[in-house]
Structure 1
Amino acid sequence: MAYWLVKSEPSVWSWDQQVAKGAKGEAWTGVRNYTARQNLVAMKKGDKAFYYHSNEGKEIVGIVEIIKEAYPDPTDKTEKFVCVDLKADKPLKNPVTMAAVKEEKKLAEMDLVKYSRLSVQKVTAEEWKLVCKMGGI
């Protein structure tokens, strides 16, 4: 299993909205960055991703599961970009803020710190375990 992090502004698509979609999940559309696109293509069914509220909150609030692998993004008129389907898995008991991630020396190389603008990121197994511990799960 691989681990990821996906970002969304809560005013655009929040954790609560993702949870409300239930087991059928929702397409993760609108990604228009080629590095993020490559990460979407690399995702496999069953992989897990942290759900990060960007701009407002700036914190990891939950975990989602990839339930459908990459397919053409229906919102992309250029037909160059893809999306995956995600379903909410579980919330973090304690949201992990960007400030907390930056304070943890073991997370200094995390993509969230190094590539803060990237909307779909890789997360190492070690980073995953540490952030889950910080989040109370």
Structure 2
Amino acid sequence: MSFWLFKTEPGCFSFENLKNRPNMTEHWDGVRNFQARNFLRDQIKTGDLVLFYHSSIPEPGVVGLAEIVRDGYPDFTALDPNGEHFDPKASPANPIWFMVDVRYLKELPRMVTLAQIKNHPMLTNMPLVKRSRLSIQPVQQEEWQIILAMGGMDTP
């Protein structure tokens, strides 16, 4: 099992939106960064766990936990010419972009803010701290446990 951090703008898709989906599950579409795409396509697997991170808000941070319930598959939103994630270079034979399905697990008792993460001496090497723009990032097991503890949770 691997651990990940997925960023989303709550105005586009929030943790509450995920909770309210049928079976509390939704596909994670619209990723248009090749490094993040490679994670979705090649590394993220069913059973992996996700820190759900709200970005582009006054106080960004980790708000909850999700799990991967379907391995990477072609992102069909890239094929919709009327959609916001359309990519004219993508086709069914050459999908280019990938997505996974995620399921809501639980909300953290306390949000763990970006400022708290940046100020924790054991979290300074996280991609979130180093390359904050990448929307999908690996998380080390020790980092995962520290963030859960900071959020008031010992285990998922």
TM-score of the pair, normalised by structure 1: 0.97
Query: Are 2:18 and 2:24, in contact at CA under 8 Å, matched by a contact in 1?
Result: no
In structure 1, the partner of 2:74 is 72
Give unpaired runs (5+ residues) of structure 2: 80-89
In structure 2, the partner of 1:97 is 113
Matched, 1:131 2:133: no
Specify the code of the residue in structure 1 equivalent to 2:28: W
Give unpaired runs (5+ residues) of structure 1: none
Matched residue pairs, number?
137
Greater gyration radius: 2
What CA RMSD, in Å, does the superposition of the two structures yield over aligned residues?
Answer: 0.9
Specify the code of the residue in structure 1 equivalent to 2:51: F
Instruction: State the distance in 1 between where 2:6 and 2:78 align.
Output: 18
Detail structure 1 runs of 4+ shifted over 2 Å in the superposition: none
Q: 1:24 to 1:91 in 2, by over 3 A?
A: closer
Query: Are 1:31 and 1:81, in contact at CA under 8 Å, matched by a contact in 2?
Result: yes
Specify the code of the residue in structure 2 equivalent to 1:25: T
Specify the code of the residue in structure 2 equivalent to 1:101: I
Deviates more, 1:17-26 or 1:46-55: 17-26
Specify the code of the residue in structure 2 equivalent to 1:17: N
Shift of 1:22: 4.6
In structure 2, the partner of 1:108 is 124
Instruction: State the distance in 2 between where 1:45 and 1:24 align.
Output: 15
Shift of 1:47: 0.6
Shift of 1:23: 2.5
Identity percentage of aligned residues: 40
